[in-house]
Amino acid sequence: MRMVNQAVFLILCLGVGPAIAAAPQLPADVAKFVEQREGCDHFRGEMPDPSERQRMKEVERELRKLCTGTDKKLADLKRKYAKNRAVLDRLNEFEERIEPPPQQK
């Protein structure tokens, strides 16, 4: 049985290892944006029950912290890396406009 487990492990490593190694490394500013925006998108998908006031406050706080400014940052990064297909492919996975338009006074 131990031999079978080792064989399976070896097959998985050989099959997955090259794919992981081939994944393009993102520039630091893009990687930071991706992490922030994925957090933002996570909280955008959370809808606490209206009776869960404390959780609603937490979600709203995280949305402000993680989502504010990401529309502009996404557009800026797309311009900056317009000639880098791998970066653009990753950035194109995100919606361009998630923030509400500024309120007019």
40's CB contacts (< 8 A; 6+ apart) are 63, 66, 67, 70, 98
Quote the CA–CA distance of 49 and 59 in Å, as a whole number. 11
| Tokens 């009776």 sit on residue | 51
Q: What pLDDT does residue 1 have?
A: 46
Nearest partner of 78 among 70, 102, 35, judged by Cα: 70
Q: What pLDDT does residue 78 have?
A: 98
Nearest partner of 35 among 80, 73, 7, judged by Cα: 73
Residue 68 is classified by DSSP as: T
Say if CB 27 and CB 77 are below 8 A apart: no
pTM of the predicted model as reported, rounded to 2 decimal places: 0.73
For the chain, 105 residues long, give each residue's pLDDT as a single digit of tens. 444 444 444 444 455 444 444 556 999 999 999 999 999 999 999 988 989 999 999 999 999 999 999 999 999 999 999 999 999 999 999 999 999 887 766
